[in-house]
């Protein structure tokens, strides 16, 4: 399936698209090279164009790649608590494809504050697609899809806050304090 068709499916008919995704074979490498690395680059490229900061754009991109993997690990660990199954590839699929709309919204980095609002709306829709995909890919019980999604979202928020701290640390330039040779 082409990347354009998959994006259209996730954006316009996520229920049907999750059923297709569930049956497709995948590997960590295929998900990263064929989907995550491509879509996760949209926001950083827009950020680069709007801020002209290669360091900022590169940091955002690298953190997106790392957060995707770590959140998939968390999803995989949580699934059995909600009647689901452990399957890392299914977890990575769930994260990768549910992030689609949010990654596409990265283009809104070009719009400043308005872009942030549009990005928030896209993120809410991405959470909805996560909710739809959880019972299909992780086999969690349908009645536990809402709590599962909420716990994953909370873990994602915490992970995002931690990534923000790492991100801000990556953006700081060390300098010498008071000529004492102390780095801060």
pLDDT tens profile 50-109: 999 999 999 999 999 999 999 999 999 999 999 999 999 999 999 999 999 999 999 998
Q: Which residue has the higher pLDDT, 118 or 112?
A: 118
Contact call for residues 71 and 157 (beta carbons, < 8 A): no
User: Is 85 strand, coil or helix?
Assistant: coil
Query: Residue with structure tokens 């304090």?
Result: 177
Contact call for residues 90 and 110 (beta carbons, < 8 A): no
Among 73, 93, 103, 117, smallest CA distance to 21 is for: 93
- For residue 183, list its beta bridge partners: 176
Among 102, 103, 104, 78, smallest CA distance to 90 is for: 78
Widest Cα–Cα separation across the chain? 63
Give yes or no for residue 175 having a pLDDT over 70: no
Give yes or no for residue 8 having a pLDDT over 70: yes
Give yes or no for residue 4 having a pLDDT over 50: yes
Neighbours of 77 (CB within 10 A): 13
Q: Which residue has the higher pLDDT, 34 or 116?
A: 34
**What is the domain count for the chain?**
1
Give yes or no for residue 176 having a pLDDT over 80: no
What pLDDT score does 173 carry?
A: 54
What pLDDT score does 167 carry?
A: 74
pLDDT tens profile 149-174: 999 999 999 998 998 887 777 666 55
113-137 helix and 14-23 helix, angle to the nearest 10 degrees: 50
Contact call for residues 140 and 82 (beta carbons, < 8 A): yes
Give yes or no for residue 181 having a pLDDT over 50: no
pLDDT tens profile 129-151: 999 999 999 999 889 999 999 99
Give residue 49's domain range. Answer: 3-183
What pLDDT score does 165 carry?
A: 84
Give yes or no for residue 21 having a pLDDT over 50: yes
**Model's pTM, two decimal places?**
0.89
Give yes or no for residue 182 having a pLDDT over 70: no
Say how far apart CA 24 and CA 50 lie, in whole Å.
37
């Amino acid at each position: 399936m082409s990347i354009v068709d998959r994006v259209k499916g996730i954006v316009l008919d996520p229920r049907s698209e999750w059923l297709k995704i569930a049956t497709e074979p995948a590997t960590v490498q295929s998900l990263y090279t064929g989907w995550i690395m491509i879509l996760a680059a949209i926001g950083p490229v827009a950020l680069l164009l709007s801020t002209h900061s290669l360091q900022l754009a590169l940091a955002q991109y690298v953190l997106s790649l790392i957060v995707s993997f770590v959140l998939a690990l968390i999803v995989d660990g949580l699934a059995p608590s909600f009647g689901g199954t452990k399957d890392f590839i299914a977890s990575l699929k769930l994260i990768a494809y549910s992030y689609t709309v949010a990654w596409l919204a990265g283009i809104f980095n070009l719009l400043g504050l308005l872009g942030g609002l549009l990005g928030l709306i896209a993120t809410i829709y991405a959470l909805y697609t996560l909710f739809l995909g959880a019972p299909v890919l992780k086999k969690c019980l349908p009645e536990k899809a809402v709590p599962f999604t909420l716990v994953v979202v909370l873990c994602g928020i915490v992970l995002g806050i931690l990534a923000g701290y790492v991100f801000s640390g990556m953006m700081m330039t060390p300098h010498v304090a008071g000529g004492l040779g102390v780095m801060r």
